[in-house]
Homo-oligomer: A and B are copies of this chain.
Amino acid sequence: MGVVDIAREAGVSTATVSRVLNGAESVTGATREHVLEVVARLGYTPNAFAASLRKGRNDAIGIAVASISQPWHVKLIRELRRAIREQGFTTIVYDLEHSESVLIEHTESARRLRLAGMVLATGDRIDGDEVRAALDRMAGTVPLVVIGQELPGAGWTTVAFDDVAASEQAILELLGRRPKPVLFLGEAASSYLSEERRIGVERALSQFPDLLAGSELVALDAGMDFSVGYREVQARAGALARFGTIFCVNDELALGACRALSELGVRVPEDMMVIGYGDVDMLPYLTPSLSSLSGDVGGVAERVVRALLARIEGGHVDVGPKLQRKIVHRESTGG
């Protein structure tokens, strides 16, 4: 069943049916009522493919995140959807599952679907040859905004937090509370995000050479969930006394670390301070409650959408300086 069936039944042309269904102002009230009645009676739903094909555009914007298992990304999706919907677009969520090949697949899908735009949020590096080529290719036809990492000469807009500064600032503040070496748990080279945060930590520590010497900056290769934080701390059971702080690149690692400390009888924060990144919703409800570096997700979403709209209209927009994070102290850093 299509417009022609509705048109025939209603005794009008397909043009009129289309106008009614698309809310054109020109249609007479009576005609509109009649057509709508027929549509309802016959249970007709327009074919989105035919409409998009004819219109030559799609009103959907893709949101691709590194992993929907990470609460921070879910929070971001929520905010982005809200902001995007306000602009009259629909959204479609892609889960990259931290995989380059999945990302590449999705760039293809975005091209085939002629998406109006795409938002990419990942801490995983996107500067590998294949990934970079796929993104460039996509960005040629689908306006793109990337959250989190800046690439030289990229044909897209970047919105990011200043994680180097945030990490440096946080470490300085924690060293003020307890001037002891730091155990940093981050990801290996595949993570852009970990790299930035590590640099900030190093920068702060380098002001205190003896503390830097005693610190350990771990580059994990095993993902960043609870179990990894747990395992890494357990693995250092005998060597924990020399550290004053465990600084984790996300909240999940911090949670796992706390569990290990608890099993080892290391008190948080008396013997060891612990802090994560992202400030996800559950942190205040943990025991001990977890400190974290918090960022304004709504602010990110707002900037992303502004930048995307500008690109969709063929223009550019200055998204301003990198966003600042702030440290949220809870029990795990002494409140």
Q: Measuring CB to CB, which residues of chain A are less than 8 angstroms from any residue of chain B?
A: 43, 45-50, 52-53, 58, 68-69, 71, 74-75, 77-78, 81, 90, 92-93, 95, 97, 108-109, 111-114, 137, 140-141, 225-227, 229-230, 252, 255-256, 258-259, 262, 281-282, 284-287, 289
Contact = CB atoms under 8 A, between A and B. Distances in A.
B43 A140 contact: yes
A286 to B, nearest CB: 7
B69 A285 contact: no
28 contacts: A43-B137, A45-B111, A45-B112, A46-B112, A48-B49, A48-B109, A48-B112, A48-B113, A48-B114, A49-B50, A49-B52, A49-B113, A53-B53, A68-B74, A68-B77, A69-B74, A69-B75, A69-B78, A74-B74, A77-B95, A90-B109, A92-B92, A93-B95, A226-B281, A255-B285, A255-B286, A256-B285, A259-B285
A285 to B, nearest CB: 4
A271 to B, nearest CB: 15
A88 to B, nearest CB: 14
Given A49-B50, A78-B95, 9 more contacts: A45-B141, A48-B113, A50-B53, A69-B78, A226-B282, A227-B285, A255-B282, A255-B285, A259-B289
Contacts of A109: 48, 90
A137 B255 CA distance: 45
Contacts of A286: 255, 259, 286-287
Greatest chain B CB density within 10 A among A68, A230, A255 is at A68
B93 A47 contact: no
Contact of A47 (B77, B114, B289): B114
Contacts of A255: 282, 285-286
A278 to B, nearest CB: 14
A53 B45 contact: no
Which of A47, A230, A258 has the most CB atoms of chain B within a 10 A radius of its CB?
A47
Contacts of A258: 285, 287
A79 to B, nearest CB: 12
A289 B252 CA distance: 15
A282 B250 CA distance: 14
A287 B229 CA distance: 14
Contacts of A225: 281
A282 to B, nearest CB: 5
Contacts of A256: 285
B285 A230 contact: yes
Contacts of A92: 92
Nearest to A288: B287
Nearest to A55: B49
A114 B45 CA distance: 9
A83 to B, nearest CB: 15
Nearest to A252: B282
Contacts of A111: 45
A71 to B, nearest CB: 7
A62 B284 CA distance: 35
Contacts of A48: 49, 109, 112-114
